[in-house]
């Protein structure tokens, strides 16, 4: 076991745990944002640089600080490590920089984007972005593409997190899409306009942190905050069959996998991720197809919870708060970087 | 201070063939090495103080001793011949003229590391050198210098040349390994380092062409003798690719410690500035190292003469110093526009960014566009500050050093030549000739 301190909160975690996962075990606001890391995808993470943290003390044996900010999703904790995330101005500044970089080529078409309301980039922009842009240049643009009958690719919105590439590599029979080109002209695409035709290809929609890959069967039908999520299951030969149904009135508009509190596909009892097949996702849109398990618990801070659900009682909290910790747990940290801060205008 | 070790025979006709190379003492180091214990060779390299010649200057002996040696797992030596740093062309010269020096170095180094297979990863633009190296390797196989049981020592070794597709990023060691494995050349996250998990997840050492070639004379003369050449911790000789506004551009082998002033003005080396003009600035180690103006490249901030060595060039940190880097020595005369030069560099890094991590992918293009705007005469003073801010948000935040390589030239140009940027944005009509600016302001050039 390794004892690690993150923003003055201490927790013991197994050796080899990454800083990000240690922070997730503590929970609350000291969890770094992660746009590309996905716990159930091997080799993911390290690309987006939003989870950079400062390591003030490398370990108990070697207390030297690390010279650069490190990606918390790919850096393993050491016993006695001291990490600063939200309490380090350097980290906050770097994160604001990454947010700005991610947005200079992003179309900001949230009003017509199906991902709006559950978009990680929106959250990131809200927490760390500025109200105004300093880039005055043309954005790189691509035409929207249909990847098969059910998936739409809006390359303009993509932040090149490589999650969908890893999904197709690891849970489908064969990857037919990937990253083509280099630098800011790199694009996710299929080789020679081929469709991604696979029983599990729909999972790329669930892992996409932005609206680059969206469900064509749900396209422009509603906004997520007008729909009500309900947990349901069916006996499926191909997948676990455990899904989340998104109702508007009596109608199921959309079916997705169940997500955990970090917006990742929730783990099943056996510890594996509950990926769902395309049949469950795209073809079963009647209540008769499903056995309803109950209402989905929605975080009170989510826009989806607006007017629908009661507020959550008490925040989850593990670990020990050190004396003199600068942040009370569970409260929003205001370091002068929130989008509503007038200094950021 | 003239001492030639690597290039002592480069003027001999036919030195690219095995016959002539052996007549002039070639493959004697290999014979000597095969009679030594592998660890003893590593020890000699450590004693020699040889530092990586590709740019980072990491001690080679130490890098070799980090190589993990688990049982039953092959080890690899990979030669980084993806020489793509703008301003650097020393490896090309070496491989083109004395290919057997590299092959001999590969075999000796592989023997020291216990690697039975080695690869030379060469950049796509050096296609004609691929032919030269392959011919040299064929000759070596025919003479029993490669293959099974080399010179009766019982050591087996195979050496292959792999050609890249011409991406700058594949000069980064982990991107090179990815490319060598046949994948997209994206740098890997470190740790694990290649010494533990490199090519096909096996322990791997990646060294520059010049570093591997330098192992040959080290084995020949002994580590202590090699350490006696050069100055302080910068031991041995270094190939410098001199280019720009000088009378004699080309590849020069220098003993580390030659004063920069002597290197630029001596007839033995660059032979002074072209057309009798004045020196304005020098990029001392390939396009990614910080540019220095005349007064700082000839003398350190403390007034000491600046020497061609790892320590002296780095004296003063980035505030007043630079780096030896890969030895791409680009000289600019008084007529050079630093802003235009920087734009060229920025365009290069934008084009070569792999697009894997956000700061470099988005930031390099942004910097290029800001510089384009300033060059178009549409820039504002705020753009200079923005440029500074963007580079600071890239530096140190990326997976691989390309982010830094793109940020450092921008930072240095603004640090030392801010007045020139300001001139570009405040008086766009007067920017056609940089000299004009100096003349009308009554300033001395640089």
CB spacing of A101 vs B393 below 8 angstroms: yes
Tell how strand B117-122 and strand B158-163 pair up. Answer: parallel
Burial of A33: CB neighbours in 10 Å, binned 0-12, 13-18, 19+? buried
Mutate to test the interface with B, among A46, A183, A186 (most CBs of B within 10 A): A183
Would you state the pLDDT for residue B442? 64
Does A78 contact B at CB distance below 8 Å? Answer: no
Mutate to test the interface with A, among B175, B182, B362 (most CBs of A within 10 A): B362
Please give the backbone phi and psi of residue A18, each rounded to the nearest 5 degrees, phi first: -80, 160
Q: Where along chain A do its domains lie?
A: 2-100+323-344, 140-220, 223-312
Would you state the pLDDT for residue B127? 93
CB spacing of B359 vs A100 below 8 angstroms: no
Instruction: Give the count of beta carbons closer than 10 Å to the beta carbon of residue A234.
Output: 14
Give the mean pLDDT of A327-334: 44
Q: Where are the alpha helices (DSSP H) in chain A?
A: 19-26, 89-104, 120-128, 163-170, 203-207, 278
CB spacing of B397 vs A100 below 8 angstroms: no
Residues of A within 8 A of B190 (CB-CB) are none
Q: Are B169 and B402 in contact (CB under 8 A)?
A: yes
**Whole-number mean pLDDT of chain A?**
85
Which tens digits make up the pLDDT trace of A109-145? 999 999 998 899 998 998 898 888 888 888 989 999 8
State the Cα–Cα distance between residues A13 and B39, nearest whole angstrom: 40
Tell how strand A291-295 and strand A228-233 pair up. Answer: antiparallel
Instruction: Give the count of beta carbons closer than 10 Å to the beta carbon of residue B176.
Output: 29
**What CATH number does domain A2-100+323-344 carry, 3.20.20.70, 3.10.20.740, 3.30.70.890, 3.40.50.300?**
3.10.20.740
Give the mean pLDDT of A63-77: 92
What DSSP state is assigned to residue B197? S
Would you state the pLDDT for residue A318? 65
Q: Are B332 and B244 in contact (CB under 8 A)?
A: yes
Q: Are B109 and B157 in contact (CB under 8 A)?
A: no
Residue of A nearest to B371 (CA): A137
Would you state the pLDDT for residue B430? 62
Cis peptide before B191 (omega within 30 of 0): yes
Residues of A within 8 A of B367 (CB-CB) are none
Would you state the pLDDT for residue A344? 39
Does B274 contact A at CB distance below 8 Å? Answer: no
Would you state the pLDDT for residue A29? 82
Domains of chain B: 18-222 (3.40.50.11540), 231-333 (3.10.20.600), 338-440 (1.20.1440.230)
pLDDT band of residue A328 (cuts 50, 70, 90) is very low
Residue of A nearest to B356 (CA): A47
Residue of B nearest to A183 (CA): B355
**Residue A311 pLDDT greater than 80, yes or no:** no
Q: What are B275-278's contacts with CB under 8 Å, separation 24+?
A: B275/B245, B275/B333, B277/B245, B277/B333, B277/B334, B277/B335, B278/B333, B278/B334, B278/B445, B278/B446
Q: Are A65 and A57 in contact (CB under 8 A)?
A: yes
Mutate to test the interface with B, among A37, A49, A136 (most CBs of B within 10 A): A49
Residues 6 or more apart whose CB falls under 8 angstroms from that of A79 comprise A1, A2, A3, A4, A15, A59, A60, A61
CB spacing of A183 vs B184 below 8 angstroms: no
The length of chain B in residues reads 446
State the Cα–Cα distance between residues A270 and A263, nearest whole angstrom: 19
With a CB-CB cutoff of 8 Å, which residues 105-144 of chain A face chain B?
105, 134-135, 137
CB spacing of B355 vs A183 below 8 angstroms: yes
Cis peptide before B192 (omega within 30 of 0): yes
**Residue A337 pLDDT greater than 70, yes or no:** no
Collapse the DSSP code of B117 into the 3-class scheme (helix H, G, I; strand E, B; otherwise coil) and give the result.
Answer: strand
Would you state the pLDDT for residue A335? 38
**Residue A94 pLDDT greater than 70, yes or no:** yes
Please tell me the distance in Å from B166's CA to the nearest CA on chain A. 13
Residues of A within 8 A of B169 (CB-CB) are 182
Would you state the pLDDT for residue A193? 63
Residues of A within 8 A of B357 (CB-CB) are 46-49
With a CB-CB cutoff of 8 Å, which residues 184-243 of chain B face chain A?
184, 189
> B443: which 2 tokens?
């300033």
Would you state the pLDDT for residue A331? 44
Give the mean pLDDT of A294-313: 66
Closest CB to B397 among A52, A104, A181: A52
Please tell me the distance in Å from A93's CA to the nearest CA on chain B. 8
CB spacing of A184 vs B350 below 8 angstroms: yes
CB spacing of B189 vs A74 below 8 angstroms: yes
Which tens digits make up the pLDDT trace of B354-413? 999 999 999 999 999 999 999 888 889 999 999 999 999 999 999 999 999 999 999 999
Give the mean pLDDT of A248-263: 90
This complex has an ipTM of 0.88
Same fold, A2-100+323-344 and A140-220: no
State the Cα–Cα distance between residues B341 and B332, nearest whole angstrom: 10
With a CB-CB cutoff of 8 Å, which residues 91-110 of chain B face chain A?
none
Residues 6 or more apart whose CB falls under 8 angstroms from that of B265 comprise B271, B272
| CATH architecture under which domain A140-220 falls | 2-Layer Sandwich (3.30)
With a CB-CB cutoff of 8 Å, which residues 331-350 of chain B face chain A?
350
State the Cα–Cα distance between residues B397 and B360, nearest whole angstrom: 8
Residue of A nearest to B367 (CA): A135
Residues 6 or more apart whose CB falls under 8 angstroms from that of B83 comprise B89, B90, B91, B92, B123, B126, B171, B209, B326
Mutate to test the interface with B, among A97, A175, A179 (most CBs of B within 10 A): A97
Closest CB to A69 among B351, B358, B396: B396
pLDDT band of residue A35 (cuts 50, 70, 90) is very high
Start-to-end CA distance of chain A, whole Å, equals: 45
Does the CA dihedral A79-A81-A85-A87 come out positive or negative? Answer: positive
Please give the backbone phi and psi of residue A74, each rounded to the nearest 5 degrees, phi first: -120, 10
Inter-chain contacts counted by CB atoms under 8 A, chains A and B: 85
Collapse the DSSP code of B425 into the 3-class scheme (helix H, G, I; strand E, B; otherwise coil) and give the result.
Answer: helix
Comparing CA positions, the residue from B422, B378, B54, B23 lying closest to residue B208 is: B54
Comparing CA positions, the residue from B216, B313, B226 lying closest to residue B263 is: B313
Would you state the pLDDT for residue B203? 95
pLDDT block averages, 10 residues each, chain B of length 446? 80 90 91 92 93 91 91 93 93 94 95 94 93 94 92 92 92 94 91 91 95 94 92 92 94 93 93 92 93 92 92 90 92 91 93 92 94 88 94 92 93 94 82 58 56
Would you state the pLDDT for residue A262? 87
**Residue A333 pLDDT greater than 90, yes or no:** no
Residues 6 or more apart whose CB falls under 8 angstroms from that of B93 comprise B10, B239, B241, B251
How far CA A47 is from CA of A36, B34, B356, in Å, comes to 6, 45, 6
Please give the backbone phi and psi of residue B236, each rounded to the nearest 5 degrees, phi first: 80, -160
Mutate to test the interface with B, among A78, A100, A184 (most CBs of B within 10 A): A184
Instruction: Give the count of beta carbons closer than 10 Å to the beta carbon of residue A41.
Output: 22
**Residues pairing with B331 in the sheet:** B244, B282
Would you state the pLDDT for residue B446? 41
pLDDT band of residue A70 (cuts 50, 70, 90) is very high
Residues of A within 8 A of B354 (CB-CB) are 182-183, 186
Would you state the pLDDT for residue A306? 61
Would you state the pLDDT for residue B432? 57
Q: Are B281 and B332 in contact (CB under 8 A)?
A: yes
Residues of A within 8 A of B353 (CB-CB) are 182-184
């Amino acid at each position: 076991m390794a004892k690690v301190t993150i923003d003055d909160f201490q927790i013991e975690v197994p050796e080899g745990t990454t800083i990000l996962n240690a922070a997730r075990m503590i929970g609350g606001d000291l969890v770094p944002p992660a746009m590309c890391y996905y716990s159930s995808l091997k080799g993911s993470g390290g690309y987006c640089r939003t989870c950079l943290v400062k390591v003030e003390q490398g370990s108990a044996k070697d207390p030297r600080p690390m010279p650069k900010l490190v990606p918390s999703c790919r850096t393993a904790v050491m016993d006695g490590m001291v990490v600063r995330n939200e309490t380090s101005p350097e980290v906050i500044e770097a994160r604001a920089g990454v947010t700005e970089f991610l947005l200079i080529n992003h179309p900001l078409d949230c009003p017509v984007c199906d991902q709006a309301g559950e978009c990680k980039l929106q959250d990131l922009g809200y927490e760390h972005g500025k109200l105004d842009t300093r880039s005055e240049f043309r954005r790189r643009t691509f035409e929207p593409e249909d990847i098969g009958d059910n998936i739409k690719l809006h390359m303009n919105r993509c932040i090149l997190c490589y999650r969908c590439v890893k999904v197709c590599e690891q849970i489908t029979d064969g990857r037919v899409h990937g990253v083509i080109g280099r630098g800011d002209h790199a694009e996710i695409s299929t080789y020679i306009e081929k469709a991604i035709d696979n029983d599990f290809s729909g999972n790329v929609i669930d892992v996409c942190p932005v609206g680059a890959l969206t469900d064509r069967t749900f396209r422009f039908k509603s906004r997520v905050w007008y729909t009500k999520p309900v947990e349901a299951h069916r006996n499926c030969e191909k997948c676990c069959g455990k899904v989340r149904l998104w109702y508007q009135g009596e109608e199921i508009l959309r079916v997705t996998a169940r997500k955990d509190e970090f917006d990742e596909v929730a783990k099943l009892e056996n510890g594996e991720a509950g990926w769902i097949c395309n049949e469950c996702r795209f073809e079963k849109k009647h209540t008769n197809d499903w056995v309803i398990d109950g209402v989905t618990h929605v975080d009170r801070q989510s826009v989806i919870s607006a007017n629908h659900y009661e507020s959550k009682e008490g925040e989850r909290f593990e670990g020990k708060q050190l004396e003199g910790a600068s942040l009370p747990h569970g409260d929003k940290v205001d370091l002068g970087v929130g989008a509503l801060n007038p200094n950021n205008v | 201070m003239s001492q030639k070790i690597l290039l002592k025979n480069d003027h001999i006709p036919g030195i690219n063939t095995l016959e002539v190379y052996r007549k002039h003492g070639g493959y004697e180091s290999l014979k000597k090495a095969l009679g030594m214990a592998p660890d003893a060779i590593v020890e000699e390299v450590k004693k020699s103080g040889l530092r990586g010649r590709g740019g980072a200057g990491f001690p080679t002996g130490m890098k070799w001793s980090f190589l993990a040696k688990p049982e039953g797992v092959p080890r690899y030596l990979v030669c980084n011949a993806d020489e793509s740093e703008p301003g650097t062309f020393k490896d090309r010269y070496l491989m083109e003229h004395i290919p057997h020096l590299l092959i001999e170095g590969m075999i000796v180094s592989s023997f020291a590391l216990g690697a039975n297979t080695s690869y030379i990863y060469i950049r796509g633009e050096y296609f004609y050198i691929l032919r030269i190296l392959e011919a040299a390797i064929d000759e070596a196989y025919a003479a029993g210098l490669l293959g099974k049981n080399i010179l009766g020592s019982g050591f087996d070794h195979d050496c292959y040349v792999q050609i890249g597709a011409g991406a700058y990023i594949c000069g980064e060691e982990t991107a090179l390994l990815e490319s060598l494995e046949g994948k997209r050349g994206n740098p890997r996250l470190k740790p694990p380092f290649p010494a533990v998990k490199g090519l096909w997840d096996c322990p791997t050492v990646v060294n520059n062409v010049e570093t591997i070639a330098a192992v040959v004379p080290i084995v020949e003369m002994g580590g202590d003798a090699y350490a006696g050449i050069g100055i302080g911790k910068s031991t041995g000789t270094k190939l410098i690719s001199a280019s720009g506004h000088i009378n004699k551009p080309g590849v020069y082998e220098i003993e580390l410690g030659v004063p920069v002033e002597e290197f630029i003005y001596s007839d033995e080396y660059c032979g002074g500035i072209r057309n009798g003009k004045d020196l304005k600035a020098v990029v001392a180690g390939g396009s990614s190292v910080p540019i220095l103006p005349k007064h700082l490249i000839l003398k350190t901030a403390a007034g000491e003469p600046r020497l061609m060595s790892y320590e002296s060039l780095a004296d003063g940190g980035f505030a007043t110093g630079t780096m030896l880097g890969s030895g791409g020595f680009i000289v600019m005369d008084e007529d050079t526009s630093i802003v235009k030069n920087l734009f060229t560099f920025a365009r290069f890094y934008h084009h070569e960014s792999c697009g894997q991590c956000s700061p470099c992918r988005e930031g390099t293009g942004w910097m290029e566009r800001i510089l384009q705007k300033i060059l178009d005469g549409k820039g504002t003073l705020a753009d200079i500050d923005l440029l500074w801010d963007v580079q600071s948000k890239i530096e140190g935040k990326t997976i691989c050093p390309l982010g830094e390589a793109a940020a450092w030239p921008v930072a240095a140009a603004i640090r030392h030549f801010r007045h020139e940027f300001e001139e570009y944005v405040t008086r766009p009509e007067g920017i056609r000739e940089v000299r004009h600016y100096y003349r009308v302001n009554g300033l001395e050039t640089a």
